[in-house]
């Protein structure tokens, strides 16, 4: 084949591939919109569906805003289509926890609506890679407030850091007596994960595709394994410390705000029973790690101090689980490091389980988690002083002083 003809055929294939991609995307939107409308129309008494809009931002489950019309006007609901890997007892655990919180007066969490059969979810069967799979759907209250942040765009105001920590403390108190029975999240608790992640990370390494992401991960794997071992080493010291239902995905993108106060908390689909300390540590890793500006790749220690002090102050109002104990405070720096490795595991799992994801996007996540990892190790002493008075912790000011910007 001559060069000119090869060029013509290549250009035709490029145009055809683009057209096919456009058709595929249009079909996906049509399928999801029709499926969500059918679920709400058929299985719920919430009115007639007039509009379905996908809510972007989630990485695991799919989220939608569904608008219905009844005699009293239009109503807006949040509808989740769960990932195909989610199993029934995980969905039931999440919904039972949300209902428990509602019964205790914690109305910041979105109510989950019962369907016509009295269940909090419905199922549909669909094809995935040619095989039938069961998908779960649930309809929630659409919370008021503003979606201001994500897990990487997290520069809250000082008042928002303070309020977010207090919301977490209230959640821990009101959830502490939740009894799930045989319901549970499939993911193990954090200390078991610290023991199991070394092998999981070796398996990821064996799946290397030779990309820039793979190269960076393989370079840092020995150091990561070393720090996983340090995280696992504190397990005996945690014995007897408070275990409660934890949110396990507590970041600014999962709260809604109004007037610098947290007014809504959602996405309990990662919740499980675990050490309370892990939830606080993960909150620090998510809320207080910088993704931009002059402190890119660092934990913003002054904001972390606001977060911890506000949590302690709010938690002290309740007898159970109460504020972080002296043992928890002593173990907090290492648990922050483990929480960061937990988030790193999410980066790796998402990358290696889906070959279609963007190498550049996930390399950015990987680079940042590795930078945070080393910053934490270099600042363990400062992390140990987070609950100390401001002058000792080096905080820049109490709640409300400044906007928490660069």
Q: What is the pLDDT of residues 84-93, one digit of tens each?
A: 999 999 999 9
What are φ and ψ of residue 6, in 5° steps? Answer: -60, -40
Are 143 and 264 a contacting pair, CB within 8 Å?
A: yes
The pLDDT value given to residue 393: 44
* Domain 158-393, CATH: 3.90.1200.10
Q: How many residues does the chain have?
A: 406
- Whole-number average pLDDT of the chain: 92
CB 57 within 8 A of CB 150: yes
More confident residue, 384 or 24: 384
* Model pLDDT for residues 23-44, shown as the tens digit of each residue: 887 888 788 889 999 999 999 9
The CA-based dihedral angle spanning residues 170, 173, 178, 183, taken in that order and rounded to the nearest 10 degrees:
60
- Nearest residue to 245 (alpha-carbon basis) of 321, 339, 308, 329: 321
| pLDDT, tens digit (0-9, with 9 covering 90-100), for 93-147 | 999 999 999 999 999 999 999 999 999 999 999 988 889 999 999 999 999 999 9
Can you give the pLDDT at residue 59? 66
Residues of the chain with CATH 3.30.200.20: 33-141
Helix 326-353 × helix 359-378 angle, to 10°: 160
CB 325 within 8 A of CB 181: no
The pLDDT of 299-324, averaged and rounded, is 97
Homologous superfamily, domain 33-141: Phosphorylase Kinase; domain 1 (3.30.200.20)
* Cβ neighbours, 10 Å, residue 2: 7
Two tokens, residue 108: 């910041």
* pLDDT score, position 56: 73
Cβ burial 355-366 (10 Å sphere, 16+ → b, else e): eeeeeeebbebb
Residues of the chain with CATH 3.90.1200.10: 158-393
pLDDT category at 2 given cuts 50, 70, 90 is: confident
HSE toward the beta carbon, residue 169, CA cutoff 13 A: 22
Cα–Cα distance for residue pair 64/80, rounded to 1 Å: 6
Kindly report the three-state secondary structure assignment for every residue of the chain. CCHHHHHHHHHHHHHHHHHHHHHHHHHHHHHHHHHHHHHHHHHCCCCEEEEEEEECCCCCCEEEEEEEEECCEEEEEEEEECCCCCCHHHHHHHHHHHHHHHHCCCCCECCECCCCCCCCCEEEEEEECCEEEEEEEEEEECCCCECCCCCCCCCCCHHHHHHHHHHHHHHHHHHCCCCCCCCCCCCCCHHHHHHHHHHHHHHHHHCCCCCHHHHHHHHHHHHHHHHHHHHHCCHHHHCCCCEEEECCCCCHHHEEEECCEEEEECCCCCCEEEEHHHHHHHHHHHHCECCCHHHCCCECHHHHHHHHHHHHHHHCCCCCCCCCCHHHHHHHHHHHHHHHHHHHHHHHHHHHHCCCCCHHHHHHHHHHHHHHHHHHHHCHHHHHCCCCCHHHHCCCCCCCCCCCCC
Percent of the chain with pLDDT over 90: 82
- The pLDDT of residue 17: 86
- Give mean pLDDT, residues 326-352: 97
Task: Please tell me which residue, 406 or 120, carries the higher pLDDT value.
Answer: 120
More confident position, 333 or 25? 333
Is residue 8 predicted with pLDDT exceeding 90? no
- In this prediction, residue 401 has a pLDDT band, given cuts at 50, 70 and 90, of very low
């Amino acid at each position: 084949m001559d060069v000119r003809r090869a060029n013509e055929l290549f250009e035709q294939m490029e145009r055809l591939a683009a057209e096919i991609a456009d058709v595929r995307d249009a079909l996906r939107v049509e399928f999801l919109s029709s499926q969500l409308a059918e679920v709400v129309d058929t299985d719920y008494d919430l009115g007639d569906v007039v509009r379905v809009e996908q809510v972007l931002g989630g990485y695991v489950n799919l989220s939608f805003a569904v608008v219905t019309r009844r005699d009293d006007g239009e109503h807006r609901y949040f509808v989740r289509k769960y990932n195909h890997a989610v199993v029934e007892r995980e969905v039931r655990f999440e919904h039972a926890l949300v209902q428990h919180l509602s019964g205790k007066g914690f109305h910041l969490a979105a109510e989950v609506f019962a369907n016509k059969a009295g269940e909090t979810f419905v199922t549909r069967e669909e094809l995935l890679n040619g095989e039938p799979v069961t998908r779960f759907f649930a309809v929630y209250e659409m919370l008021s407030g503003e979606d201001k942040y994500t897990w990487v765009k997290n520069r809250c105001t000082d008042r928002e850091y303070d309020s977010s920590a207090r919301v977490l403390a209230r959640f821990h108190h009101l959830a502490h007596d939740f009894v799930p029975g045989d319901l549970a999240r499939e993911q193990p608790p954090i200390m078991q994960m610290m023991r199991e992640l070394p092998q999981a990370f070796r398996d990821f390494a064996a799946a290397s595709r030779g990309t820039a992401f793979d190269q960076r991960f393989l370079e840092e794997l020995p150091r990561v394994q070393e720090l996983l071992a340090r995280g696992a080493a504190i397990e005996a010291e945690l014995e007897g410390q408070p275990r409660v239902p934890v949110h396990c995905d507590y970041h600014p993108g999962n709260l809604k705000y109004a007037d610098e106060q947290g007014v809504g908390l959602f996405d309990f689909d990662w919740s499980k029973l675990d050490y309370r300390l892990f939830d606080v540590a993960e909150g620090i890793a998510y809320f207080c790690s910088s993704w931009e500006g002059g402190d890119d790749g660092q934990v913003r220690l002054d904001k972390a101090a606001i977060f911890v002090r506000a949590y302690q102050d709010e938690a002290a109002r309740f007898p159970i689980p109460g504020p972080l104990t002296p043992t928890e405070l002593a173990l907090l720096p290492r648990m922050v490091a483990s929480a960061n490795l937990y988030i790193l595991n999410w980066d790796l799992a998402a990358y290696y389980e889906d070959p279609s994801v963007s190498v550049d996007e996930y390399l950015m996540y990987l680079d940042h988690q590795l930078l945070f990892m080393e910053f934490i190790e270099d600042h363990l002493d400062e992390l140990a002083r987070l609950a100390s008075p401001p002058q000792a912790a080096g905080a820049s000011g109490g709640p409300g002083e400044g906007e928490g910007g660069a």
